[in-house]
Structure 1
Amino acid sequence: MVSVVRSLRHHSDEVTCCAFSPTLLATCSGDKTVRIYDTADFSELPYSPLSGHGYAVHCCCFSACGSYLLTCSTDGSTIIWSAATGEAAAALQHPDRSPVRVCALAPDSSLLLAGACDGTVAMWNFDSKTLRRCSAVSEASVVACCFSPCGQMFVTGCTKGDIKLWDLDVSLLHAEKDAHDLGVTCCSFAPQCEFDGCCVEFRLASCGQDSQLKIWIVSQHGGAGSDMKLLHTLSGQSAPVLSCAFSSDGEMVISGSACLFLCKPVLVCHAHPVRFIPVPIPSHRYVTAVAVSPTMPWIATGSMDKTVKVWRIGNGDSGIEKVLDQNAVFSHQEASRKLPGHSRLLVADWSEEDVGTWLREEGLEELVSILKVNNIDGPELSQLNKETVAELGIESVGLRGRLLRKIEALRVEQSGSEAPDEFLCPITRELMKDPVIAADGYSYEREAIKSWLTAKNKSSPMTNLPLQTTLVTPNRSLKMAIARWKSSQ
């Protein structure tokens, strides 16, 4: 029904966003980088990773033609990259250098939106790279924005939970207060529209910290204004929903939280419940990002475990319909029992067949027969090192190196030896060496917060509110805890 095509483990921090063009997949992360893959074989392009941002990268998106890639970051910038060369065509600095959480391009690539932590959106002319206007749209951080398919409206969502509809002059058309309790996390328009006389209707998906996915009808009534009405609320997910996206035909919505959810709300009668199918995520800690290919039956998911997985829906022909035509709705546990053996929790449980499945997922198909001939199961795989791998008869030095790197990544993933999040600096997302407490009560790496305060005019990296003082205090207890954790590894 839904199967993993490839697992990508190149990021060193949680994956924050994924985006497809017709031929490329882009992923970005808290590790400050953007990585680009060719969807022909999901190999990383020679110019990847892109490293123009100074802090965590929160969002990435392609232009409709796929020629340009947009990324935005805590460093307050939105960068336009050439998808062909990886060169930065422009770096647009948000007014007041506020951290930028989300960016979006109009369907015709004429306008660019950037939503920031200070509650503003900056609208830029894409061709001239000039600022058209910067307007306050919320009292809270703007974390979601997207243009309507007609390009004449856009939606914003904030951490306060409101969703607002705007025209291109940033005049408010409609506001949904508390659309998602505890905050909106993502918004996405279906690519199609419907006509009803002089009224044009669009479908909008939104998700939030309230563990709900909502489908809205956004109506444009010619000269009579615009409005939004709630069509469906899906509350089958047990954790905050951090991302959502429509399929290219607009008939399916994919959302990510503790599971990957597939649902078909558009063609379902209003009087009947929406069908949705939860898909368990092997080796994913939590789904933070979802993207759908415009040309292939693929879904990309990013996770807090630093991995990106590419999924195939069905058999690649009419896979979406085949998935949605299933009569049964599986629970997480039921679906987990149907997974192949390699997705069990411990590598020690893997059979030789599970090892072969894992190798194929990691793009090491040529090693399947070699490891099978040598009767390598899970326990044997976890013990392989440079010397024993050489004894297997793998002639290619590069192939041996790739296998060892994959095994090491698997060991880290299985052992849970990643640094606790509280040991990482919120600015650099790196393990702190000299943690200090700032006036906002958060702990940072000393050099990182000093650089931030110099550039950001006394604003908090976490709240974006003014700091009463720039003085910092050493956090000795945290420093000792980090030292103890490092000595235990």
Structure 2
Amino acid sequence: MVSVINSVDTAHEDMIHDAQMDYYGNRLATCSSDKSVKIFDVRNGSQTLQADLKAHDGPVWQLAWAHPMFGCLLASCSYDRRVIIWKETNGTWIKLHEYSNHDSSVNSVCFAPHEFGLILACASSDGSISIISSTGDGTWDSKKITNAHSSGCNAVSWANAIAPSSLVEQSGRQLVVKRFVSGGCDNLVKIWKESEDGQWVCEHKLEGHNDWVRDVAWAPSIGLPKSIIASCSQDCSVIIWTNDGTNNTWSSTILYQFKDVVWHVSWSVTGNILAVSGGDNKVTLWKESLAGTWVCISDVGKGQGQLRAAS
């Protein structure tokens, strides 16, 4: 049985859309329809408000922490079409960079693996995906994948910098190609790869959902023999996509058919446990068995104090 070790009263004035722990688990960032981003120190079971950031003009949908090698950086995206990268210096949070080159709501942000540098992917309802990167001299470059999804993009998630063992080149070199996955309102999951000339191309188009794809998550694959992606949808399903290196093809397995829309999927650090949350007000944890099937190992309902083992 897994126990809830802490709860945080955020004092947000409207619905909370995302909550993210930093790399070390010392800080919790939350964002809300009240247009604010809040940062709490949650060490030793306490909760101390460190910052209340109010620069967005609309609901803030999602947050992403950068790797600590770049300092204390947090990205936020909003219905106001903007992405803001915040930086903490000596206890004070400032706006480090603002990106406003989307024509509609920005729904998802995700930092690339630190091995690639300080790079952020941003997904928008205008159907495009932006890749913004720090040049190291205080300026930022940006590239945009226009029409990445025909009806809007809801989520992005990066692949690891080092590919699974099955995808290592015959020469023995580790693959370090930049890749990420996206999910959109066209019911598609797409895998994007950076080409040798620096352009982003769609490497795979995965079809399996019959309604909007709400979230995607590329599993950490260090030490694993294959690549794994989870996607969830308005169609109430979660699909597990796997690539074992055979002909570079992806196969799909329906994890479970839920009774309500599934909003989010998130992998554990080791990539072997998947958390799923949806409109049924439950969070369920899933793990692949030795037989290759996915089983629910625990679930928690709204207002419950503990995750209970599922029957």
Taking structure 1 as the reference length, the TM-score comes to: 0.53
Which residue in 2 is equivalent to 1:280?
300
Are the aligned partners of 1:146 and 1:155 in contact in 2 as well (CA < 8 Å)? Answer: yes
| Aligned-residue offset at 1:37 | 1.4
Task: Summarize deviations over 1:430-457 as a string: whole Å, max 9, x none.
Answer: xxxxxxxxxxxxxxxxxxxxxxxxxxxx
* C-alpha distance in 2 between matches for 1:53 and 1:30: 10
Q: 1:44 to 1:281 in 2, by over 3 A?
A: farther
Q: Structure 1 stretches of 5 or more lacking a match?
A: 285-310, 314-322, 331-489
* C-alpha distance in 2 between matches for 1:89 and 1:279: 39
Q: 1:78 to 1:276 in 2, by over 3 A?
A: same
Q: 1:159 to 1:83 in 2, by over 3 A?
A: farther
* C-alpha distance in 2 between matches for 1:125 and 1:52: 21
1:228 aligns with 2:250: yes
Which residue in 2 is equivalent to 1:117?
125
Picking from 50, 72, 81, the partner of 1:76 is 81
* C-alpha distance in 2 between matches for 1:156 and 1:194: 24
Are the aligned partners of 2:287 and 2:297 in contact in 1 as well (CA < 8 Å)? Answer: no
Write the letter of the residue equivalent to 2:122.
Answer: A
Which residue in 2 is equivalent to 1:155?
181
Are the aligned partners of 1:173 and 1:227 in contact in 2 as well (CA < 8 Å)? Answer: no
Picking from 43, 47, 56, the partner of 2:47 is 43
Taking structure 2 as the reference length, the TM-score comes to: 0.81
Which residue in 2 is equivalent to 1:341?
none
Are the aligned partners of 1:59 and 1:73 in contact in 2 as well (CA < 8 Å)? Answer: yes
* C-alpha distance in 2 between matches for 1:229 and 1:86: 44
| Aligned-residue offset at 1:2 | 3.0
Which residue in 2 is equivalent to 1:190?
219
Q: 1:141 to 1:81 in 2, by over 3 A?
A: same
Paired residue secondary structure (1:235)? strand
Picking from 212, 228, 231, the partner of 1:206 is 231
User: Greater shift after overlay, 116-125 or 10-19?
Assistant: 10-19
Write the letter of the residue equivalent to 2:96.
Answer: A
Task: Summarize deviations over 1:102-157 as a string: whole Å, max 9, x none.
Answer: 11111114321111111101111134322133432111110011110126101110
Paired residue secondary structure (1:12)? coil
Picking from 2, 23, 34, the partner of 2:37 is 34
* C-alpha distance in 2 between matches for 1:185 and 1:32: 21
Task: Summarize deviations over 1:4-60 as a string: whole Å, max 9, x none.
Answer: 3214241122111121111211111111111111120342333x2111111111110
* C-alpha distance in 2 between matches for 1:282 and 1:233: 25
| Aligned-residue offset at 1:268 | 3.4
Which residue in 2 is equivalent to 1:320?
none
Larger Rg computed on CA atoms: 1
Q: 1:42 to 1:159 in 2, by over 3 A?
A: farther
Write the letter of the residue equivalent to 2:79.
Answer: T
Picking from 71, 87, 90, the partner of 2:94 is 87
Write the letter of the residue equivalent to 1:102.
Answer: S
Write the letter of the residue equivalent to 2:159.
Answer: S
Picking from 240, 247, 261, the partner of 1:215 is 240
Are the aligned partners of 1:70 and 1:81 in contact in 2 as well (CA < 8 Å)? Answer: yes
* C-alpha distance in 2 between matches for 1:44 and 1:195: 38
* C-alpha distance in 2 between matches for 1:53 and 1:220: 43
Paired residue secondary structure (1:49)? strand
TM-align CA RMSD: 2.4
1:105 aligns with 2:106: no
Are the aligned partners of 2:20 and 2:65 in contact in 1 as well (CA < 8 Å)? Answer: yes
| Greater helix share, structure number | 1
Which residue in 2 is equivalent to 1:141?
152
Paired residue secondary structure (1:98)? coil
Q: 1:220 to 1:30 in 2, by over 3 A?
A: farther
Which residue in 2 is equivalent to 1:352?
none
Are the aligned partners of 2:149 and 2:185 in contact in 1 as well (CA < 8 Å)? Answer: no
Are the aligned partners of 1:163 and 1:176 in contact in 2 as well (CA < 8 Å)? Answer: yes
| Aligned-residue offset at 1:160 | 2.1
Are the aligned partners of 1:35 and 1:44 in contact in 2 as well (CA < 8 Å)? Answer: no
Which residue in 2 is equivalent to 1:2?
2
Map 1:372-387; keep pairs closer than 5 Å: none
Write the letter of the residue equivalent to 1:175.
Answer: K
Q: 1:312 to 1:87 in 2, by over 3 A?
A: farther
* C-alpha distance in 2 between matches for 1:281 and 1:215: 23
1:263 aligns with 2:290: no
Give the share of equivalent positions with the same residue, in percent.
22
* C-alpha distance in 2 between matches for 1:153 and 1:220: 15
Which residue in 2 is equivalent to 1:429?
none
| Aligned-residue offset at 1:164 | 0.4
Paired residue secondary structure (1:8)? coil
Map 1:311-330; keep pairs closer than 5 Å: 329-330=310-311
* C-alpha distance in 2 between matches for 1:81 and 1:248: 24
Write the letter of the residue equivalent to 2:270.
Answer: D
* C-alpha distance in 2 between matches for 1:194 and 1:164: 24
Picking from 137, 140, 143, the partner of 1:132 is 143
* C-alpha distance in 2 between matches for 1:219 and 1:131: 32
1:170 aligns with 2:200: yes
Paired residue secondary structure (1:227)? coil
* C-alpha distance in 2 between matches for 1:8 and 1:282: 15
Q: 1:312 to 1:278 in 2, by over 3 A?
A: closer
Picking from 236, 244, 254, the partner of 2:265 is 244
* C-alpha distance in 1 between matches for 2:250 and 2:223: 14
* Structure number with higher relative contact order (C-alpha < 8 Å, ≥ 6 residues apart): 1
| Aligned-residue offset at 1:194 | 4.8
* C-alpha distance in 2 between matches for 1:175 and 1:276: 28
| Aligned-residue offset at 1:3 | 2.9
| Aligned-residue offset at 1:195 | 6.4
Which residue in 1 is equivalent to 2:165?
none
Task: Summarize deviations over 1:147-180 as a string: whole Å, max 9, x none.
Answer: 1012610111002210001112221110013x32
Task: Summarize deviations over 1:219-243 as a string: whole Å, max 9, x none.
Answer: 567xx7x43221x312253211101
